[in-house]
């Protein structure tokens, strides 16, 4: 059977990795897909650079729109990144009847509803395994492997840069700025790392996972997002003393009032496997009503881990591209006309436990005042840690772990606590999840 023809848009890290993996594993891929998968045209803004990646046998087109709408092509792989240009190219490819494979989480988080509706109308597929957690097949697991379950919650380390920084801070006692510099030195952080360290990248990915898990539209703008820039090595050390690790987690949870979608630093018990995921690795924990908790671990970025997911999507599309569109796996796991309008909870309504660190005057009655404020707002204390003051120092750190309560109760309590004359500076608040 004749090979299926593919247009590859972008020959950067992900595009180059995809080309190499396809070439190296062509025989195995053909055996799996039932026919060859051939990159017949490459769209690249810098053809000379692209030639060094793909060699002399593949046609290179500097006009990416021409590559995306080439009549001979059946699948378009979008790996250029960004949003507006990628959106234009993906929608043009769909309008031309092409299936699309993309690793672009920002594109899908912000424009996925439009893109999936266009693909549905045209009877083509949009595959995006590489958009979340690199080489970990979490999209397929949620969309197909766990389709017999009612998904209860998801908790994931889905940004390797932030996880590396937190690992460096915990293991070496580095301040945030030094750990970020180490991430840049190793090529794990961009020159402008804000998407990673402010939690935006993780929020893009969480919005995709939540849509598939709960059968809701993409709603990136409703994800509560908090990064790691305010964390200190001191807090990581105190968490360790209390039996916890701090990770930047993406959390999505179903509860009777709606769905939680939040990205923020989180204390996790050290005994949990996900708490021991270090460096740039990713891990996603999914809890289903039938299967219980399942953990997916692996490389979340990099040329060939990303290529692994892209090529897997190419194989899936090749297998199914002649199938009746009504009988394909829906883009977001649930049938398009069955997506739910379940409300997304505001952060103030979310219920979880908390780590609170306070710097207070070293004098009698301080703790009593703080515990009274917490009790007035029905916040109970699970654990307490008081550090010895340095010689001659008139202030001391106290750390409290609370039982579960609503965020709005903690907001009110912190405001009252910070107003006490004996509390020096602002309270540090980090959320805590048992993940049990």
Positions marked active-site: 205
- Alpha-carbon 63 to chain mean position: 32
Phi/psi at 415 (5° precision):
-60, -40
- Contact yes or no for 74/98 (Cβ under 8 A): yes
Distances (CA, A) of 31 to 76, 95, 315: 21, 30, 10
DSSP state of 329: P
- Sign of the alpha-carbon torsion through 133, 135, 140, 146: negative
The CA distance from 405 to 351, in Å, is: 5
- Contact yes or no for 360/369 (Cβ under 8 A): no
- Alpha-carbon 393 to chain mean position: 42
- Edge-to-edge strands, sheet with 59-61: 59-61, 37-43, 4-9, 75-78, 99-102, 126-127
Number of H helices, E strands in the chain: 15, 17
Strand extents, DSSP E, 270-339: 281-288, 292-299
Contacts of 63 (CB under 8 A, 6+ apart): 43
The CA distance from 375 to 413, in Å, is: 9
């Amino acid at each position: 059977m004749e090979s299926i023809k593919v247009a590859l848009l972008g020959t950067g890290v992900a595009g180059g990795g995809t080309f190499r993996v396809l070439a190296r594993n062509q025989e195995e891929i053909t055996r799996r897909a039932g026919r060859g998968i051939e990159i017949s045209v490459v769209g690249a803004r810098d053809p000379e650079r692209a030639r060094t990646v793909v060699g002399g046998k593949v046609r290179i087109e500097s006009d990416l729109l021409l590559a995306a709408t080439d009549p001979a092509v059946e699948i378009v792989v979008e790996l250029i990144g960004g949003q507006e240009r990628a959106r234009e190219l993906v929608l043009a490819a769909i309008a031309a009847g092409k299936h699309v494979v993309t690793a672009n989480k920002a594109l899908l988080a912000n424009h996925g509803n439009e893109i999936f509706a266009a693909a549905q109308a045209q009877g083509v597929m949009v595959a995006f395994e590489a958009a979340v957690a690199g080489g970990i097949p979490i999209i397929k697991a949620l969309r197909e492997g766990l389709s017999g379950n009612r998904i209860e919650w998801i908790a994931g380390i889905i940004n390797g840069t932030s996880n590396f920084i937190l690992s460096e801070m915990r293991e070496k006692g580095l301040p945030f700025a030094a750990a970020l510099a180490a991430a840049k030195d190793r090529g794990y952080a961009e020159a402008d790392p804000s998407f990673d360290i402010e939690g935006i990248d993780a929020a893009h990915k969480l919005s995709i996972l939540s849509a598939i898990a709960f059968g809701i539209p993409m709603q990136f703008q409703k994800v509560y997002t908090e990064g790691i820039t305010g964390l200190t090595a001191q807090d990581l050390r105190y968490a360790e003393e209390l039996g916890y690790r701090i990770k930047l987690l993406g959390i999505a949870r179903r509860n009777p009032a709606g769905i939680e979608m939040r990205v923020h630093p989180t204390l996790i018990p050290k005994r949990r496997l996900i708490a021991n995921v270090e460096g740039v690795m990713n891990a996603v924990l999914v809890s289903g009503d039938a299967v219980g908790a399942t953990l997916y671990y692996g490389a979340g970025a990099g040329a060939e881990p990303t290529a692994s997911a892209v090529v897997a999507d190419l194989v899936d599309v090749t297998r199914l591209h002649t199938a009746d569109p009504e009988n394909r796996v829906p883009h977001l796991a649930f049938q398009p006309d069955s997506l739910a309008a379940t409300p997304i909870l505001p952060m103030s309504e979310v219920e979880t436990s908390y780590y609170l660190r306070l710097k207070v005057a070293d004098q009698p009655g301080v703790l009593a005042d703080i515990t009274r404020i917490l009790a007035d707002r029905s916040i109970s204390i699970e654990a307490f840690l008081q550090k010895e003051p340095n010689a001659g120092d008139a202030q001391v750190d106290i750390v409290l772990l609370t039982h579960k309560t609503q965020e709005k109760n903690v907001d009110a309590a912190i405001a009252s606590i910070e107003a006490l004359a004996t509390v020096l500076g602002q309270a540090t608040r980090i959320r805590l999840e048992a993940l049990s």
